[in-house]
Structure 1
Amino acid sequence: MEELVPSLAAYLLILTRVTAFFVTLPLFSYRAIPSTQRIIFGALLAWAMVYTVDMPVLEINGAYLLLVVKEAMTGLFIGIIAFIVMSAIQIAGGFIDFQMGFAIANVIDPQTGAQSPLLGQFFNSLAILLLLALNGHHMLLDGIFYSYQFIPADQLWPAFGQEGMVDFVIRTFATSFAIAFQMSIPIVATLFLVDLALGITARAVPQLNIFVVGFPIKIGVSFIVLFIMMGVMVQMMKKLFEVMIISMRDLMLILGGG
């Protein structure tokens, strides 16, 4: 019984970080996956990790409750930083939809339950399929496992309130925004030139109803440019995945005091 209690304490501590990780982590936190399956998967993953992670002998006391809170915050923070990076795809779709005139036609994202732009939803679905094709979900699960090398389970107060962490989150968001801008700028710039040409046409030919003609032209040009630039979009998504993994590792280093 004396050996069972420390093992149970270690398992509950690992389960707390894993389940908190799944709450905010891209792909694993989507509503398309039933909550029951996520809980079962998290419990099985924590059960496998309790025999592979070097866990200290723990006792269930007041300090243990603080460790549980710390583990929950650690899992949430690491998942949120990955979610911030992945949200760049939605931002890029919003930029393009605004220029195309699709901004008024938002749809409900079945994965997050929030309203999403049309092309943002398309890019997000494409990114998820690309992430699965590149075994990115395996890398995300590796992040859960290797997080204990950077943030030990018995470390009571990680660097949640450090100034360096705030700067890191701001820089990560700025990097994600820059990648979103790079993904959308070919179509946005092309549509700006189309708007300029339509404005000149409206001034030259006042009898032409430019609003009736302009929307089909902009939509058609957008899809043509999107088809031509699809290879570039996929490469930018791969770069985004690299930024996501690196950001998760750097955040673990900061929280671990490294």
Structure 2
Amino acid sequence: MLDFLPSFPAFLLVLVRVTSFFLMMPLFSYRSIPNSHKIGLGFFMAWIMFYTMDIPELEIDANYFMLIIKEALVGLMVGFIAYLMMAAIQIAGGFIDFQMGFAIANVIDPQTGAQSPLTGQYLYTVALLFLLSVNGHHLLLDGIYHSYQFVPIDQLFIPFGNANMAEFVIRAFNSMFIIAFQMSIPVVGSLFLVDVALGIVARTVPQLNVFVVGLPLKIGVSFIVLVVVMSVMMVVVSEAFEATLTTMRGLMELIGGS
């Protein structure tokens, strides 16, 4: 125990990075997981990581408090990038719901406490099951472990003024919307053709109330197209997971200045 005391400040820094990563990371940050379990999981993860890394001995001084802030920011930023790519799935569901007519009926996500579209919540749940089935949560934990190769524990500052970092974050937002567009375009495109057909019917058969016929027709068509293209959507979701890991690595390289 006495041998551990000189390394205790470094262990606290590891604990701060891991727990702050869990605050933003998909699946581990949900409200359904008790806070005591999150803290305990973060503690044991930090304990394991601490004994597998070469960590220098640190003293508790003014620089140490700067290191705490830096570790918290690194964990939050890496976790935010992981959450950002998963949010693309809910955005795709929002695009679909807007065309289906479900945009007015949002639901409260019990995991995050935020409002989310109906189709987006469904696709997000399927994507989470897909993430667990391919051990994607292990890859996310592996990402926070290897973050110390790019951002050392004794690095004092994060280069927020670096133009490359700002450009990289903007590109991450851009890729998120591209993934959302790729997931939603089969359903949205099909519903656009349905709108065109309904417009033609409204002009040729004025006696038909298009508004009464159009809404159930669009809902039925969207469900059929969703069932048909679900496998293709999962391919795009796998690309989103790959983009998540690539973006996390690129962000850590920029933070570390490599």
Q: Which TM-score bucket, shorter chain as reference?
A: over 0.9
Q: Which residue type is aligned with residue 226 of structure 1?
A: L
Name the counterpart of 2:225.
Answer: 225
Please give the alpha-carbon distance, in whole angstroms, between the structure 1 residues aligned to 2:53 and 2:167.
30
Asked whether the 8 Å contact 1:109–1:116 carries over to 2, the reply is: yes
Asked whether the 8 Å contact 1:18–1:46 carries over to 2, the reply is: yes
Root-mean-square deviation (CA, aligned residues, Å) is 1.1
Name the counterpart of 2:107.
Answer: 107
How far has the Cα of 1:2 moved from its partner? 6.7
Please give the alpha-carbon distance, in whole angstroms, between the structure 1 residues aligned to 2:140 and 2:6.
28
Equivalent residue runs for 1:83-94 within 5 Å: 83-94=83-94
Please give the alpha-carbon distance, in whole angstroms, between the structure 1 residues aligned to 2:108 and 2:53.
40
Q: Which residue type is aligned with residue 143 of structure 1?
A: G
How far has the Cα of 1:181 moved from its partner? 0.3
Deviations 1:62-116 (A, max 9, x none): 1111111100011011111111111110110000000000001100011111000
What are structure 2's unaligned runs of at least 5 residues? none
Name the counterpart of 1:26.
Answer: 26
Name the counterpart of 1:69.
Answer: 69
Please give the alpha-carbon distance, in whole angstroms, between the structure 1 residues aligned to 2:29 and 2:100.
30
Deviations 1:139-195 (A, max 9, x none): 011011100000000011122331111100000110110011011001101100100
Deviations 1:200-237 (A, max 9, x none): 11111111111111111101100111111011001000
- Aligned positions, number: 258
Asked whether the 8 Å contact 1:25–1:83 carries over to 2, the reply is: yes
Name the counterpart of 2:8.
Answer: 8
Greater mean deviation of Cα atoms: 4-13 or 43-52: 4-13
Equivalent residue runs for 1:167-246 within 5 Å: 167-246=167-246
Asked whether the 8 Å contact 1:93–1:117 carries over to 2, the reply is: yes
Q: Which residue type is aligned with residue 246 of structure 1?
A: T
Please give the alpha-carbon distance, in whole angstroms, between the structure 2 residues aligned to 1:208 and 1:112.
44
Please give the alpha-carbon distance, in whole angstroms, between the structure 1 residues aligned to 2:182 and 2:114.
24
TM-score of the superposed pair, with normalisation by structure 2: 0.98
Distance 1:43 1:254, change over 3 A: same
Please give the alpha-carbon distance, in whole angstroms, between the structure 2 residues aligned to 1:33 and 1:124.
18
Please give the alpha-carbon distance, in whole angstroms, between the structure 2 residues aligned to 1:165 and 1:78.
13
Q: Which residue type is aligned with residue 244 of structure 2?
A: M
How far has the Cα of 1:3 moved from its partner? 3.6
Say whether residues 1:153 and 2:153 are aligned partners. yes
Please give the alpha-carbon distance, in whole angstroms, between the structure 1 residues aligned to 2:98 and 2:143.
35
SS in 1 for 2:19: helix
Please give the alpha-carbon distance, in whole angstroms, between the structure 1 residues aligned to 2:57 and 2:160.
25
Please give the alpha-carbon distance, in whole angstroms, between the structure 1 residues aligned to 2:101 and 2:145.
44
Asked whether the 8 Å contact 1:30–1:112 carries over to 2, the reply is: yes
Please give the alpha-carbon distance, in whole angstroms, between the structure 2 residues aligned to 1:60 and 1:209.
74
Please give the alpha-carbon distance, in whole angstroms, between the structure 2 residues aligned to 1:24 and 1:51.
25
What are structure 1's unaligned runs of at least 5 residues? none
Asked whether the 8 Å contact 1:31–1:110 carries over to 2, the reply is: yes
TM-score of the superposed pair, with normalisation by structure 1: 0.98
Please give the alpha-carbon distance, in whole angstroms, between the structure 2 residues aligned to 1:53 and 1:219.
54
Name the counterpart of 1:137.
Answer: 137
Sequence identity (%): 60
Please give the alpha-carbon distance, in whole angstroms, between the structure 1 residues aligned to 2:2 and 2:164.
41
Please give the alpha-carbon distance, in whole angstroms, between the structure 2 residues aligned to 1:5 and 1:78.
29
